[in-house]
Copies of this chain bind each other. A is one copy, B any other.
Amino acid sequence: MTRSDDVEDSPAVDPRVVRTRSDVIKAAMQVLMDEGLEAVTHSRIAQVAGYSKATLYSHWPTRAHLIRDVFAQFQNFEHHTPTGDLQADLVAELIMFRQAIVEHRLDRGLVMLLALMSSHPELVDIRDNMVTDGERVLRRLLATTVSGPALEAAVLSLSGAVLHAALLHGEPPSDSVIEATVDMTLRGIGLQQ
């Protein structure tokens, strides 16, 4: 088999296949958010996306495959590009986290993912990848100054403050609370008076 055959056979690069997959996952995400996880079935998603059930089954042989790909969407959120001003960079990154919650309902996606994990252990990998990606910018910014338990404490406090407010208070933190959290953390690690 030549390389060009190889490429033609690969579902990842056929633009029609890419479009089908993207349409279906977009519809599935909408159904997940509007109707809940129970509604994420081949039959309901085919109906909403405007494809046949047979097409869906050819891409996602089981419901678990479909669910996995829907949650994988939550891995791709935008992050802040650091500018070198640590205080401003941390505030901007937490605001990006808040934006993913407010605009893309990342909080709801996370809760559904966590609720499903005990019956779908294959979702643990998705959570772990999401969290690794999600924390990467914060960790890089802080790792220039702290390490060990102090780095862990700083990452958990900053990220946890947004998570706690969103999940347990039902509302992500305001700008002034985000700024107060970053200032407290920077003073706490000895970087600000």
Give chain A's interface residues, CB within 8 Å of chain B: 36, 108, 110-112, 114-115, 118-119, 124, 127-128, 131, 134, 148-150, 152-154, 156-165, 167-170, 173-174, 176-177, 179-181, 183-190
Contacts and interface: CB of A to CB of B under 8 A. Distances in A.
A128 B168 CA distance: 7
Dominant SS at the A interface? Answer: helix
Contacts of A176: 149
B185 A173 contact: no
Shortest Cβ-Cβ A-B pairs, 9 listed: A160-B160, A184-B188, A160-B164, A188-B188, A156-B161, A115-B115, A153-B180, A157-B157, A149-B180
B118 A108 contact: yes
Contacts of A150: 180, 184
B188 A153 contact: no
